[in-house]
Amino acid sequence: MEDLKVLVVDDESRMRKLVKDFLTKDGYIVIEASDGQEALDVFYENNDIALIILDVMMPRRDGWEVCREIRSTSKVPIIMLTAKSEERDELLGFELGVDEYISKPFSPKILVARVSAILRRTNQVTGGEIMEIGGIVLNKVAHSVQVDGKEIELSYKEFELLSFFIENKGVALSREKILNSVWNYDYFGDARTIDTHVKKLRGKLGAKGDMIKTIWGMGYKFEA
Amino acid sequence: MEDLKVLVVDDESRMRKLVKDFLTKDGYIVIEASDGQEALDVFYENNDIALIILDVMMPRRDGWEVCREIRSTSKVPIIMLTAKSEERDELLGFELGVDEYISKPFSPKILVARVSAILRRTNQVTGGEIMEIGGIVLNKVAHSVQVDGKEIELSYKEFELLSFFIENKGVALSREKILNSVWNYDYFGDARTIDTHVKKLRGKLGAKGDMIKTIWGMGYKFEA
DNA sequence: CATTCATATTATAATTTTATCATAATTTTG
DNA sequence: CAAAATTATGATAAAATTATAATATGAATG
């Protein structure tokens, strides 16, 4: 779970070494690439890169190109390094799905802090899986649920169901969809069983029970 | 579902207004607070703040304090605004769980871009199939409809009918066509039933109800 | 092996939606 | 303008769907 891999892409070996040293000290595993093409190759070879630090100016394929390419298949966090902080570039970056934007010269400490912050945020680090919405705190690892700070007891299925609802908050879910996700896809029982579970869940959630809305003729929806 | 609330906290009203204007233009709902204490109050009153923009220097309680306090109960994204980019501050910020760190003076465009980026990242945005026309926002994924920002309740058929109308805006639709699309093709009931649904739909749409025009001797047409 | 608990099933009650119909209002046409 | 055709409206009946409660099943536990 720890020992996350960070891919550092820069054509200057001095810069790669600098970043690598700091990240390694912080417990990350650093993989290097010296240009855009190599970056893509390395990224697709390893399927467990947790984050990419990408220099904009590079031979062969520049940072934007690499970013666009990767974004077409992956949501891996990307930090862009740029020489001068040009607003135009930065805006372009956000459109491309860059997560962070750091201009040179930067403090290595800041860089490491941002890397940690992003990984924490994207729940790649341990302990992560905690979801909160409207006073309901759901901890997937601990398999526990709190409502307004008070722990409530849910059965396995109830927990799964609530997780699914919260993960898909705001989305109208048909019974079929719910069955296929919360139950096994090969479950051929009665979809009415969902109703029963929803009822129990609503009951246990108390006043917050009506965050689970009924969508008539369609299914259910969880909403804050 | 859309219309995310952003809480802007700054003691300078000029700054709040600046940020508010830009965010509002981008479709966000902005709530203001002029100091740390007020920020906490507002945050706990509303349970659906999607993101907080926090100035560091403030009377009563400063940004760090507010951040720490909120982080003890919530994972809501926080963007910190600071006068000068001091590395020490920034590091402290990341430890406290700040998501983003922007130093003044900043470009409002960048600010908005970062807000969008964070919300996209934290999956607060729907992204899905949203249609908008003349103040009516129809979200197929959420199965919800808003009229001038206010949610209205539609039954299943009403929703289907409105979707069909909007998808075919500007097109004159015969009852037969409507029946075949919104109802099952094998429905052999009375076409007059459409009239009833149109009537109800118009009622629920309020003043915007007359976007559904009657085409005499032919059917209906939806028009902005 | 009995007990307990979670889950599934079933039946019934309650609710909501949808369709139908009669009548009123409106528009078109001659 | 009057008659005919069409649509709007409102009330009611029918149908569909969901909520609820009670019961059955089955797996886990001691």
Of residues B185 and A107, the one with the higher pLDDT is A107
Interface of A with B (CB under 8 A): 87, 90-91, 94-95, 97-99, 107, 109-110, 113-114, 116-117, 120-122, 130, 132, 134-135, 170-172, 215-218, 221, 223-224
The CA distance from A127 to A175, in Å, is 31
Cβ(A83)–Cβ(A109) below 8 Å: no
pLDDT of residue A219: 93
Question: Do B156 and A217 make contact, defined as CB atoms within 8 angstroms?
Answer: yes
Within chain A, all domains assigned CATH 3.40.50.2300 are found at 5-121
Partner residue opposite B94 with nearest CB, options A117, A171, A217 = A117
CATH class (in words) of the domain with range B5-121 = alpha beta
Confidence band of B131 (pLDDT split at 50, 70, 90): confident
Beta strand pairing status for A136-139 and A130-133?
Answer: antiparallel
Question: Do B141 and A91 make contact, defined as CB atoms within 8 angstroms?
Answer: no
CATH annotation of A130-222: 1.10.10.10
Confidence band of B152 (pLDDT split at 50, 70, 90): very high
Compute CA distances A30 → A55, A132, B36, B73, whole Å: 15, 32, 40, 34
pTM (2 d.p.): 0.60
Size of interface A-B (CB pairs under 8 A): 71
Question: Do A94 and B87 make contact, defined as CB atoms within 8 angstroms?
Answer: no
Q: Is the per-residue pLDDT at B121 higher than 80? A: no
Partner residue opposite A172 with nearest CB, options B91, B107, B143 = B143
Probe site for chain A from B106, B121, B200 (most A CB atoms < 10 A): B121
Percent of chain B at pLDDT > 90 equals 34
